[in-house]
């Protein structure tokens, strides 16, 4: 366990990095300082070839309760815009990590907290987790991609209702929408996330990374273009040692040993 910031704790396991937002008193609210530290962490993580899967979680009943609202009070329009630009860059850095990313949402994931989860490849939720984009209640709207990413992930009408009411969304309804992959008792959530992360980390890394990139770029890519890209990547993978190993291991009825080449 390594404390890398007042409110960030990292645990390394074989091929995994687990980062926990440790700001229980404010339910994980994202101060500007915390977003900056998260950005610096992600900038290092992206080039760390030892890490294949990244898990982000929170503490207690807060995953991330959004932007730190106390920092919105009395700031200038420029300072407010600076915070939003910083968040946009850092959320984008999370979304574009080469590693597979899992949000283990232990509690409130509101505003920027939900938006951060939407930047992850997979979202696992505790049964007590509550998601939402409540910015409308502040006279604002989501500034970390909520109107764009939730719409792409869950559809226009669902996103509209979520944003204009700002209501809490339970994990079950988000699972029905395909946003949440699985729901676990809060006490088991992190273990389940790590189990899933270990399963993914044991898969051939080139295939996992390529699948992530193709799926991420599918929205917004014309179908024929996407299908051509899929073939190109598949043919490249077919030429790898890992594909030869995976196919041989299946035929030999043994466990494959992947090397990442
Ligand atoms: N910013 C700052 N502090 C926060 C916070 C936030 N987003 N969310 C919770 N806290 C603090 C509370 O102020 C409280 O601190 P004190 O003990 O010092 O009073 C502590 O965390 C515990 O919170 P509550 O007492 O409110 O706990 P609760 O269980 O009664 O309610 C909650 C939990 C429903 C999540 C409630 O705290 C809440 O509504 N929080 C605000 C959520 C929100 O609106 N998030 C969106 C922010 S805007 C954004 O993210 C996007 C953008 O920039 C446009």
Residue 225 — pLDDT band, cuts 50, 70, 90?
Answer: very high
Is position 135 annotated as part of the catalytic site? yes
d(CA 48, CA 62): 28
**66 CA closest ligand 1 atom index:** 50
Section 195-221 average pLDDT:
96
Q: Are 130 and 107 in contact (CB under 8 A)?
A: yes
Average pLDDT over residues 152-161: 97
List of domains in the chain: 2-201 (3.90.226.10), 205-252 (1.10.12)
186-190 mean pLDDT: 98
116 lines ligand 1 (CB under 6 A): no
Ligand 1 in reach of 134 Cβ (< 6 A): yes
pLDDT in tens, 194-203: 999 999 999 9
Cα-to-centroid distance, 62 and ligand 1 (Å):
9
In DSSP notation, 88-141 reads: HHHHHHHHT-SSEEEEEE-SEEETHHHHHHHTSSEEEEETT-EEE-GGGGGT--
Provide the b/e sequence for 8-46 (b: ≥16 CB within 10 Å). Answer: bbeeeeebbbbbbbbbeebbbbbbbebbbbbbebbeebe
Residue 95 CB-density burial (10 A; 0-12 exposed, 13-18 middle, 19+ buried): middle
Q: Is 115 a catalytic residue?
A: yes
Number of H helices, E strands in the chain: 10, 10
Tokens 């294949």 correspond to 52
Q: What is the DSSP letter of 188?
A: G
Euclidean distance between CA atoms 105 and 169, whole angstroms: 13
Is there an atom of ligand 1 within 6 Å of 107 CB? no
What integer pLDDT is reported at residue 252 of this predicted model?
A: 97
Instruction: Give the atom of ligand 1 at the shortest distance from the alpha carbon of 110.
Output: 45
Query: CB of 30 closer than 6 A to ligand 1?
Result: no
- Residue to mutate (ligand 1; options 33, 65, 167, 170; most atoms within 8 A of CB): 65
Q: Looking at 22-76, list the stretches that DSSP marks H as alpha helix, in order from N- to C-terminal side.
A: 32-45
Q: Does the predicted model carry a pTM greater than 0.85?
A: yes
Query: CA nearest 198: which of 100, 132, 114?
Result: 100
Q: Per residue in 86-116, pLDDT tens?
A: 999 999 999 999 999 999 999 999 999 999 9
The ligand 1 atom at the shortest distance from the C-alpha of residue 72 is: 53
The residue whose C-alpha atom lies closest to atom 41 belonging to ligand 1 is 65
């Amino acid at each position: 366990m390594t404390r890398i910031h007042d409110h960030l704790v990292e645990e390394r396991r074989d091929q995994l990095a687990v980062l926990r937002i440790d700001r229980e008193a404010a339910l994980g609210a994202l101060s500007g300082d915390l977003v900056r530290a998260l950005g610096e962490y992600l900038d290092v993580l992206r080039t760390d070839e030892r890490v294949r899967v990244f898990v982000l979680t929170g503490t207690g009943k807060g995953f991330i309760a959004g932007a730190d609202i106390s920092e919105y009070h009395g700031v200038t329009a420029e300072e407010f815009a600076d915070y939003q630009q910083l968040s946009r860059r850092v959320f984008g850095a999370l979304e574009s990590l080469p590693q597979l990313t899992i949000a283990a949402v232990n509690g409130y994931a509101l505003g920027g907290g939900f938006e951060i989860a939407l930047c992850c490849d997979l979202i696992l939720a505790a049964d007590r987790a509550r998601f939402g984009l409540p910015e409308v209640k502040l006279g604002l709207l989501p500034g970390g991609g909520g109107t764009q990413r939730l719409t792409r992930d869950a559809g226009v009408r669902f996103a509209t209702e979520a944003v204009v009411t700002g209501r809490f969304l339970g994990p079950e309804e988000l699972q029905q929408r395909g946003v949440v992959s699985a729901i676990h008792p809060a006490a088991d959530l992190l273990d389940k996330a790590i189990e899933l992360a270990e399963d993914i980390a044991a898969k051939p890394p080139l295939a996992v990374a390529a699948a992530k990139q193709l799926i991420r770029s599918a929205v917004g890519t014309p179908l024929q273009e996407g299908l051509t890209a899929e073939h190109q990547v598949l043919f490249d993978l077919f030429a790898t040692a890992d594909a030869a190993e995976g196919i041989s291991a299946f035929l030999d009825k043994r466990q494959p040993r992947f090397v990442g080449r």
